[in-house]
Amino acid sequence: SYGEVNKFASDKITCGITSIAFSKSGRLLFAGYDDFNTYAWDTLADSSQCAFSLPQPHENRVSCLGVNGNGDALCTGSWDTNLKIWA
Protein backbone atom coordinates (compact mmCIF):
# COMPACT_ATOMS: atom_id res chain seq x y z
CA SER A 1 0.00 0.00 0.00
CA TYR A 2 1.01 3.60 -0.52
CA GLY A 3 1.21 6.40 2.01
CA GLU A 4 2.08 10.07 1.88
CA VAL A 5 5.84 10.56 2.26
CA ASN A 6 6.05 14.35 1.94
CA LYS A 7 3.94 17.42 1.23
CA PHE A 8 5.18 20.56 -0.55
CA ALA A 9 3.32 23.79 0.14
CA SER A 10 3.94 27.43 0.93
CA ASP A 11 1.69 29.99 2.58
CA LYS A 12 2.85 32.43 -0.12
CA ILE A 13 1.32 30.31 -2.91
CA THR A 14 -2.46 30.43 -2.72
CA CYS A 15 -3.50 29.31 -6.21
CA GLY A 16 -4.03 25.92 -7.78
CA ILE A 17 -1.45 23.55 -9.24
CA THR A 18 -1.95 22.70 -12.89
CA SER A 19 0.95 20.36 -13.70
CA ILE A 20 3.96 18.61 -12.18
CA ALA A 21 7.11 16.78 -13.30
CA PHE A 22 10.18 15.42 -11.55
CA SER A 23 13.71 16.20 -12.71
CA LYS A 24 15.61 13.26 -14.17
CA SER A 25 17.40 12.68 -10.85
CA GLY A 26 14.18 13.04 -8.86
CA ARG A 27 15.75 15.72 -6.68
CA LEU A 28 13.62 18.59 -8.03
CA LEU A 29 9.86 18.60 -8.33
CA PHE A 30 8.62 21.20 -10.83
CA ALA A 31 5.07 22.51 -10.49
CA GLY A 32 3.07 24.86 -12.73
CA TYR A 33 0.48 27.09 -11.11
CA ASP A 34 -2.60 29.18 -11.88
CA ASP A 35 -0.66 32.34 -10.91
CA PHE A 36 1.40 32.04 -14.16
CA ASN A 37 4.52 30.79 -12.30
CA THR A 38 6.53 27.58 -12.25
CA TYR A 39 8.21 26.66 -8.97
CA ALA A 40 10.83 24.04 -8.24
CA TRP A 41 10.79 22.15 -4.96
CA ASP A 42 13.89 20.41 -3.58
CA THR A 43 12.62 16.99 -2.51
CA LEU A 44 15.46 16.62 0.00
CA ALA A 45 15.02 20.02 1.71
CA ASP A 46 12.43 21.79 3.84
CA SER A 47 9.10 21.13 2.14
CA SER A 48 7.67 24.54 3.09
CA GLN A 49 10.22 26.49 1.01
CA CYS A 50 10.31 26.27 -2.78
CA ALA A 51 13.87 26.05 -4.10
CA PHE A 52 13.28 28.66 -6.80
CA SER A 53 10.80 29.99 -9.31
CA LEU A 54 11.53 30.45 -12.98
CA PRO A 55 12.54 34.08 -13.60
CA GLN A 56 9.97 35.10 -16.23
CA PRO A 57 6.44 33.88 -15.56
CA HIS A 58 3.95 33.28 -18.32
CA GLU A 59 1.19 35.79 -19.08
CA ASN A 60 -1.52 33.28 -18.18
CA ARG A 61 -1.78 30.06 -16.19
CA VAL A 62 0.76 27.31 -16.76
CA SER A 63 -1.15 24.39 -18.26
CA CYS A 64 1.59 21.79 -18.78
CA LEU A 65 5.27 21.14 -18.27
CA GLY A 66 7.79 18.43 -18.98
CA VAL A 67 11.45 17.56 -18.59
CA ASN A 68 13.36 16.31 -21.65
CA GLY A 69 14.88 12.82 -21.69
CA ASN A 70 18.40 14.04 -20.91
CA GLY A 71 17.12 15.99 -17.92
CA ASP A 72 18.82 19.20 -19.00
CA ALA A 73 15.78 21.23 -20.11
CA LEU A 74 12.27 21.98 -18.90
CA CYS A 75 9.42 23.09 -21.15
CA THR A 76 6.42 24.98 -19.79
CA GLY A 77 3.20 25.57 -21.71
CA SER A 78 0.60 28.17 -20.89
CA TRP A 79 -2.84 29.47 -21.75
CA ASP A 80 -0.95 32.51 -23.08
CA THR A 81 -0.25 30.23 -26.12
CA ASN A 82 3.51 30.16 -25.48
CA LEU A 83 5.88 27.31 -24.87
CA LYS A 84 9.04 28.27 -22.96
CA ILE A 85 12.14 26.10 -22.81
CA TRP A 86 14.37 26.51 -19.76
CA ALA A 87 17.88 25.10 -19.73
Instruction: Determine the Cα–Cα distance for residues 55 and 42; give it in Å rounded to an integer.
Output: 17
Please provide the average confidence, as pLDDT, over all residues in the chain: 94
Please tell me the predicted confidence (pLDDT) of residue 21. Answer: 97
Q: Which of 38, 46, 66 is closest to 6 using CA atoms?
A: 46
Q: What is the mean pLDDT of residues 22-45?
A: 95
Please tell me the predicted confidence (pLDDT) of residue 69. Answer: 94
pTM of the model: 0.91
47, 6 contact by CB (below 8 A)? yes
Q: What is the DSSP string of 12-71?
A: T--S-EEEEEE-TTSSEEEEEETTS-EEEEETTS-TTS-SEE-SS--SS-EEEEEE-TTS
Please tell me the predicted confidence (pLDDT) of residue 46. Answer: 79
